Structure formats: structure tokens, C-alpha cells
């Protein structure tokens, strides 16, 4: 019950008109992801929905509002999903693993939202940008906290947990950009590979020989 778009359809099932708003979001999501916000016209969205352009304005007051809606609901959805996931999981022996697994699974199911969220930030007007940033930082804070806890517990060796947070999220978030093409690996395999890499990247460990004598 966490993705807003799906949610909307579920929550207000009967009201005929609301379906249109939903379909506008779906259409915009698809088109923004493929062509980018600036390159998509309201006409295209309307055509995809099967409606005249003017009709869109019954549901969103501007094109910008559609973008904001998509990005904000993606972030809130992500946070909500994490909370649900965390609530439903016993205290995990390895919180980082829990986070990485969650992140990969969640993102691989929402490649379009992910794309938009990382590419269209600059097209958000500043007020909307701020709102989205709040959510983004909230999400990053989750990982940062996990890392800091690990450092305290002596299992991770990280100089700058904020930097590490970004590095890890960038690495993970890059997956959907190429995942589509490579049919060779299952989502589970990718998950395992990235899990290993993330672990390695932050774990306290003997330095590699080449860096030892620095």
C-alpha cells in the first residue's frame, strides 16, 4: 500500500474522473523518463492519455506541477516503503545489507521514477526543489545513520560517512540506467554483486597491498 500512484487508484476507486489524473501521471512518468521533462509537451502527454491538452488543466495547474507531483511522491513513496520494510523486519544482523537490498529491489521496480528523480532535479522550480530535497536528505540520512553506527561498532572504516552515503547511493542508483539492456543477469544476481561491492567498500579490512605503505 505504498506507491502513491498505485495507491491513488486504490484509495478512490469509484470516482471516474480521478482516473484521468492517474493516467496523466502515468503518461508523464513514461514520457519524462524517456525524453526528459523539457522535451515533453503537454500535447504529447494529452495524446498519450487520449484527451485534449486543455483537459490536463483540470487535474494539474501547470506542467511543473506534474513534475513536482511525480518527484515528490516518488521520494515519499520510497521513505514510506522503507519504514514499512524496517517495521516488518526483525532487527537485522546487518542493517547495511537490509538497506542495500531494499534499495535495489525498490528501484529496480521503478526505473522510470528513479530516472526522473535523478535527472530532472534542475527542472524543478526552487520551491519545489526544496520540498524534494527535504525528502532526499531524509532518505540519505537513513544510510548515513547505518554507516555511522557501523563505524561506532568498529565494523566499518569510513572517513566521511556523508561522502560514502552519496557514493553508495550513486552506485546503486546507476543500476536502472543499464539494467534494462543486459538480459544476462537476474535481479537477484545483481543484488548479490552490489551487496558484496558495497560491503567491501566500507568494511574495515586490511588495506590492499598497493596502498599499505602510504
Partner DNA sequence: AATGAATGAGATTTCATTCAT
Partner DNA sequence: AATGAATGAAATCTCATTCAT
The three grid cell numbers given for residue 96, joined into one nine-digit string: 547495511
Task: Establish if 178 lies at the interface with a copy of itself (CB under 8 A).
Answer: yes
Pick from 126, 88, 104, 109: which is nearest to 174 by CA? 104
String marking each residue 38-57 x if it binds a copy of itself according to CB under 8 A? xx------------------
Subset of 34-73 contacting DNA (CB under 7 A): 40-44, 51-59, 61-64
| Smallest gap from residue 98 Cβ to a copy of itself (A) | 10
Q: How many residues line the site for a copy of itself (CB under 8 A)?
A: 54
Please select the residue that binds a copy of itself; options are 164, 180, 183, 188, rule is CB under 8 A: 164
Alpha helix (H) residue ranges in 36-160 = 42-49, 53-56, 63-88, 95-108, 111-119, 126-152
Please select the residue that binds a copy of itself; options are 87, 88, 90, 93, rule is CB under 8 A: 93
How far is Cα 135 from Cα 116, in angstroms, rounded to an integer?
15
41's contact among a copy of itself, DNA, none, with CB below 5 to 8 A by partner kind, is DNA
109's contact among DNA, a copy of itself, none, with CB below 5 to 8 A by partner kind, is none
Question: Quick check: helix, strand or coil at residue 71?
Answer: helix
CA torsion sign for 93, 96, 99, 104 is negative
Task: Establish if 145 lies at the interface with a copy of itself (CB under 8 A).
Answer: no
Please select the residue that binds a copy of itself; options are 36, 53, 105, 138, rule is CB under 8 A: 36
Please select the residue that binds a copy of itself; options are 35, 52, 61, 109, rule is CB under 8 A: 35
Q: By the 8 A CB rule, do 20 and 51 touch?
A: yes
Range in contact with DNA (rule: CB under 7 A) among 9-17, 95-103, 126-134, 146-154: 9-17
CA distances from 24 to 44, 49, 58, 59, 114 (A): 11, 6, 11, 8, 18
Nearer to DNA, 65 or 149 (CB): 65
Q: By the 8 A CB rule, do 35 and 123 touch?
A: no
Q: List % helix, strand, coil for the chain (3-state, nearest 5).
A: 75, 0, 25
Binding site for DNA (CB under 7 A): 15-18, 20, 40-44, 51-59, 61-64
Amino acid at each position: 500500500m505504498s506507491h502513491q500512484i498505485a495507491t491513488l487508484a486504490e484509495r478512490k476507486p469509484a470516482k471516474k474522473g480521478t482516473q484521468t489524473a492517474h493516467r496523466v501521471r502515468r503518461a508523464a512518468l513514461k514520457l519524462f523518463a524517456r525524453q526528459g521533462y523539457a522535451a515533453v509537451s503537454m500535447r504529447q502527454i494529452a495524446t498519450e492519455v487520449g484527451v485534449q491538452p486543455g483537459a490536463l488543466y483540470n487535474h494539474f495547474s501547470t506542467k511543473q506541477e506534474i513534475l513536482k507531483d511525480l518527484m515528490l511522491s516518488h521520494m515519499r513513496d520510497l521513505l514510506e516503503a522503507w519504514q514499512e520494510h524496517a517495521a516488518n523486519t526483525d532487527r537485522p544482523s546487518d542493517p547495511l545489507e537490509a538497506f542495500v537490498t531494499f534499495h535495489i529491489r525498490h528501484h529496480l521496480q521503478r526505473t522510470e521514477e528513479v530516472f526522473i528523480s535523478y535527472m530532472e532535479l534542475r527542472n524543478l522550480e526552487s520551491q519545489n526543489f526544496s520540498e524534494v530535497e527535504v525528502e532526499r536528505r531524509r532518505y540519505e540520512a537513513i544510510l548515513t545513520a547505518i554507516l555511522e553506527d557501523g563505524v561506532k561498532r568498529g565494523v566499518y572504516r569510513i572517513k566521511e560517512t556523508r561522502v560514502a552515503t552519496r557514493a553508495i547511493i550513486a552506485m546503486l542508483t546507476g543500476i536502472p540506467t543499464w539494467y534494462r539492456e543486459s538480459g544476462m543477469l537476474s535481479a537477484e544476481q545483481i543484488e548479490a554483486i552490489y551487496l558484496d561491492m558495497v560491503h567491501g567498500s566500507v568494511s574495515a579490512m586490511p588495506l590492499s597491498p598497493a596502498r599499505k605503505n602510504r
